[in-house]
Amino acid sequence: MLTDAAGVGLALLAAWFASRPATPERTFGYQRSEVLAAVVNALLLFGVAGFVLVEAVRRFTSPPEVATGLMLGVAVVGLVANTISLLVLRGGQQESLNVRGAYLEVLGDLLGSAAVIVAAIVIALTGYTQADPIASALIGLMILPRTWGLLREAVDVLLEATPRGVDLTQVRQHLLDTPGVIDAHDLHAWTITSGLPVLSVHVVVAQDVLADGGGGRVLDSLGVCLAGHFDVEHCTFQLEEPTHQGHEHAHHD
């Protein structure tokens, strides 16, 4: 419960930081603080899972005396409290890595409470004290897969990996299919924070289109295309003449 409180508190603090306005020094504000909080929460969960598994192994070899009445009472209270917390966090965990970190903290506790209730009943009815470390091991193993997924996704954001669901091959093809566009290069897509993918690209436009003042039409078409097909609304397009590419010092396909 202490780690849960720390995880949820960290998520709330990160959400507050993320809501602060942008500044000339931090043009995207503090929105990445939510991703950092998700990483910390994931590491905290790994620590909790590791501790629980170590304790489970220790109790297999030397099982302690278990007060089943107290064990059952605390587990039931925890189950109710964690169920309420889970319902509160459930709506936002699909949209925010930060909220998902807090959600997984609570989910781990909820699963733990359920396992402890079963273990307490088994011990009370049969005297099989090994049910206690078995429940602990199950709790640790249930936490790990979801935590790994959270950590991997958060690290992808920090490494500015291509957002999930955005296929740059398809994006490039849509750019090339736009009337007036003859090439596209230096195409990059990354995520600032959950729900905020961004994209930048150099777009080579036909000379006659630019000469007729059609650059604005091309920009409008590109923006509508990417927002509609790939849900990427924050885009930066650099329009270039066909002869401009030779003047660029750095070029990436």
pLDDT tens for each residue of 105-127: 788 788 888 888 888 888 888 88
pLDDT tens for each residue of 143-158: 888 889 889 989 999 9
Q: Is 10 left (phi over 0), alpha (psi -120 to 50) or beta?
A: alpha
Cα–Cα distance, 76 to 42 (Å, whole number): 26
- Listing DSSP states for the chain in one string gives -HHHHHHHHHHHHHHHHHTSPP-SSSTTTTTTHHHHHHHHHHHHHHHHHHHHHHHHHHHHHSPPP--HHHHHHHHHHHHHHHHHHHHHHHTTTTT-HHHHHHHHHHHHHHHHHHHHHHHHHHHHHH--TTHHHHHHHHHHHHHHHHHHHHHHHHHHHHTTPPPTT--HHHHHHHHHTSTTEEEEEEEEEEESSTT-EEEEEEEEE-HHHHHTTTHHHHHHHHHHHHHHHH---EEEEEEE-TTGGGG-S----
- Whether pTM > 0.85 for this model: the answer is no
Cα of 208 vs its chain's centroid, Å:
45
b/e map 163-179, b = 16+ CB within 10 Å = beebeeeebbebbeebe
pLDDT tens for each residue of 57-98: 888 887 777 777 888 888 888 888 888 888 888 777 777 787
CATH numbers and ranges of domains, the chain: 2-158 (1.20.1510.10), 168-247 (3.30.70.1350)
Both tokens assigned to 208? 């006659």
Band of residue 203 on the pLDDT scale cut at 50, 70, 90: very high
- pLDDT value, residue 57: 87
**pLDDT at residue 2 tops 80:** no
Mean pLDDT score of the chain: 84
Please say whether the beta carbons of 203 and 237 come within 8 A. Answer: yes
Band of residue 176 on the pLDDT scale cut at 50, 70, 90: very high
